[in-house]
Amino acid sequence: MNLLPSDPDKVEAIFGDPWDQSNPLGHHAVLAADESCLPLTEAEQRLDEAGVNAAIVPQAEGGRFTQADVLARTLRSLWRHDPSLGVSYGLSPFNAGVAVWGAGDARQRQRTAAFLLAGRKIANCGFAPAYHDGSRAGLRATRTADGSWRLDGREEVVTDWARVEAAVVLASSEDEHARRGASLFLVEKSELPEGAVHHTPHSENAGLRGVPLGAGTFAHCSVPARALLGEPGRALETAAASVRLNRGLLPSAWVGSTDTALSAATMSVIEHRLHECDASEPATVRAALTDVFTDLLAVDAFSTVTLRALHLVPEQASAYAAASMYLSSGLVLDAFGTLRSVLGARSGLREGRYAIFQKLARDVAATAAGRPARTACLADVLPRLSQSARLFWLRGESAAPAGLFQLGTRLPELDFSTSATHPPGADSLISVLSASAQETVGSARLLGRLSKILLEQLDGLRAACAARDAAEDASVADFAMAGDYTALLAAAAAWGVHAQNPDLIDEVVLVAILARLLRRLPVPAVLNEREKAEVRDHLWHALVRRVRERRPSDLTAGQIPG
C-alpha cells in the first residue's frame, strides 16, 4: 500500500468510536437522526470543515478525486457509520457531478465544482442511480421558441431539494415518457421562476431515512437554454458514466455497513459467551459469522478490482460494474439475513447496544434490493458475456493489466465521458481465472480441486453462450447463466488479489471465497465437512482478532477508532 488515502482516515477520526455512548457522532446519534428522519447535520459540518467534500470533485476541477477505488474507501467509511450520509454527502452528489464532468461545458463544470467545493450539494431530480431502477422519467422537457426549455410533470425521487442551489434533472424530451429520448439539465434554483417547482418531502421511507428525499412537481418551469447538459435526447448516454460508477462504488460502500453489522454480531457472540461463562458458541454461529466474513472479502475484492478496471480497461469495466452490483447486492443482502439469525432478538430492536443493525439493514436494502435493477444489471452483462465467451475465453492471449490487482497503486485518469458501448473485447478477469486455475489444477491442494471445477464451469458457460441465440429475448435460463458468470468474475478478482497481495487474501481465505462463490453455481459442494471446519476455524480466529483489535473485516484491515 503506497497510496494511503487520507479522506477515509479523516472520516473515521470525525466519527470516532461509534460504540461510545458519549460520542456525539456515535451510533446512538446516528440512530436518533434516523428515527427523526433527519440528516446528521453535525457530521456534515465536521466533514466539510475537514474538506472531505473535495473528495468527490476531480483534481482537474480543483478537487481531490483521482481514482474511483480511493473514493470508494471514503464512501465506505461513511457507510460504516451512516449509509444515509454515505448517499446524501457522497454518492448522490458524486453521481450528479459525474454527469457534469462527462457532458457539461466549461461553465457548467466550473459552477458545479464551485458549489461542491463550497460545501453545497447538487440534487438529483429523476436522476439518482442509487434509487432509480431504470424506470420512467417523470418530467417532460419542451423546447420553446426562444431556445429555452420548459419542464413539466412530477418526479417522485428528488434528493435534498430544499438544501441545494442546483440540481441535475432528467426529463423526457419526446412525447412518450420513456428514458430513451430523455435529456439532462443542470438547473440552478436561483434561475427558476418563483413557484414553478413544488416539493413534497417523502414521509416514510423504510431505509435511508436521513436522506432528504421528496417528490418534485414542475409546472411551466422555464429553464435557460444553457442549462442543457450534453446533447438533447442523449441522457441515456450521458448518464452511462454515472450508472457505471454508481454500480462500481455501491458494493464497495456496502462493505462498510456490512462490516459494522458483522462486528456487532461478533461482539454480541463474544459478550454472550462472557455472560454465560461458556467456552464456545453453537457451531451454526461460527459458520454464519465466518460465511459473512468470507463473502465480505469477496465483495471487497470484486468491487475494488472493478473500480480499478474502470481506469485500466474501461471498455470491459461496464460489464464488470454491472456484474459486481448484481452479485454483491445478493451477497450483502444474504449477509444481513445471516447476521440477523446470529443476533436473534437483538436484530429487530431499535434500542440497546445493537440497534444500529436494523438501521444498516434497512439502508443497505434500500439500495441493494430490487429485481428490476438487478435484472437490468444482468441484462447489461449478457451481451458482453456472449461476445467474449465466444471470441476470447480460454485463448489465454489477453493478460490483465498489471495494475488491476495491485491494490493501492496509482491509476491512469478516469474518463467520465466514455460512452456505454464498446466493441467486443477481451475479458481480463476471466483470462486471469482461467490461467490461474490451469496452473493449479494438477495440485493436490484444495485449490487444485477448486480449479478443476472452475475450469469446468468456464467451459460449460462458454458452450452455453455459443449455443444461445443472441437475437432472442433473454430467458430465465439466460439470466441464470449471466448470474453464474458474475460469480466467476468475483472468483477471478479474489484470485488476482491473492496472487498479488497474499497478505490480504491468503490461500485458506481464497479457498473459502471460491468455495462460497461456487455455492451460487449449480455444482455440488466442494469441501467436505472436515475441510469446511478447518477453513472455518482459520477464519474464525482471524475474525475475532479483527473485531477485538477494532480493525475492519475487509481488505483494508486498517485501524478504526473504538
Partner 1 sequence: MRLSASDPRVAAAAFDTRLTDGLGGLPAAEQLIAQSDRAEQFPAPVHDLLGDLGLADYCLPAQHGGGSADHEVLLHLWRVLARRDLSLVVAHGATHLGAAAVWIAGTERQLAELVESVRGGTVVGWGLPEPYCAAEIEHAELTAERIGDRYRLAGTKWPLASARSGLAVVLARTGPGEDERSLLMIRTDALAPGTFRALPKVLTHGIRGAEISGISFDGAEIPADALVGAEGTGTKTVLCARQLTRSVCAALPLGAGEHALRIATAWAVEESVADGRPLAALPTVRAGLVRSAALLAAMESAAVLTARSAHSLTDELSVLSSIVKVLAPALGDVLIGELAEVAGSRATPCGGAADGAAYAADAAFQKVARDHQTLVIFDGDGSVVRDEVIGQFPRLVTGFLEGTADRDGLDRAKALGTKVGRLDPARLGSRSRRGCSAVQSLPALTAEIGEFVEHAADELRELFDLARLLTWLADETHARMTEISPAARPTAEAYELASSYELLYAGAAVLHLWRAGVGERDDEPLWQGALWARAALYELLALLHHRLGLAPPLRNALRDEDAEQLLALLRAAVADGAPVTPFGPVAGHEYEEGRL
Helix, strand, or coil (residue 336): helix
Return the number of the residue (52 or 360) whose C-beta is nearest partner 1: 360
Q: Which residues contact 176 (CB under 8 A, 6 or more apart)?
A: none
Return the number of the residue (423 or 522) whose C-beta is nearest partner 1: 522
408 neighbors 380 (Cβ within 8 angstroms): no
Q: Which residues contact 271 (CB under 8 A, 6 or more apart)?
A: none
Minimum CB separation of residue 344 from partner 1 in Å reads: 3
Return the number of the residue (43 or 289) whose C-beta is nearest partner 1: 289
516 neighbors 295 (Cβ within 8 angstroms): yes
Please state, as a whole number, how many other Cβ atoms lie within 10 Å of the Cβ of residue 345. Answer: 8
Return the number of the residue (335 or 505) whose C-beta is nearest partner 1: 335
Helix, strand, or coil (residue 293): helix
Q: Which residues contact 351 (CB under 8 A, 6 or more apart)?
A: none
Minimum CB separation of residue 562 from partner 1 in Å reads: 22
Return the number of the residue (133 or 152) whose C-beta is nearest partner 1: 133
Return the number of the residue (422 or 532) whose C-beta is nearest partner 1: 532
The three-state (H, E, C) secondary structure of 219-257, written as one string: EEEEECHHHEECCCCCHHHHHHHHHHHHHHHHHHHHHHH
Minimum CB separation of residue 12 from partner 1 in Å reads: 27
Minimum CB separation of residue 325 from partner 1 in Å reads: 14
Which three three-digit cell numbers place residue 435?
490461467
Minimum CB separation of residue 320 from partner 1 in Å reads: 21
Q: How many residues does the structure list for the chain?
A: 562
Please tell me the distance from the alpha carbon of residue 66 to that of residue 59, in angstroms, as a whole number: 6
Nearest to 239 by CA among 57, 382, 55, 419: 419
Return the number of the residue (149 or 540) whose C-beta is nearest partner 1: 540
For helices 371-391 and 446-467, the axis angle rounded to 10 degrees is: 90
Please tell me the distance from the alpha carbon of residue 380 to that of residue 237, in angstroms, as a whole number: 14
Minimum CB separation of residue 373 from partner 1 in Å reads: 6
Minimum CB separation of residue 475 from partner 1 in Å reads: 6
Torsion angle, alpha carbons of 519, 525, 528, 534, to 10: -10
Please tell me the distance from the alpha carbon of residue 43 to that of residue 49, in angstroms, as a whole number: 10
Minimum CB separation of residue 515 from partner 1 in Å reads: 10
Return the number of the residue (226 or 273) whose C-beta is nearest partner 1: 273
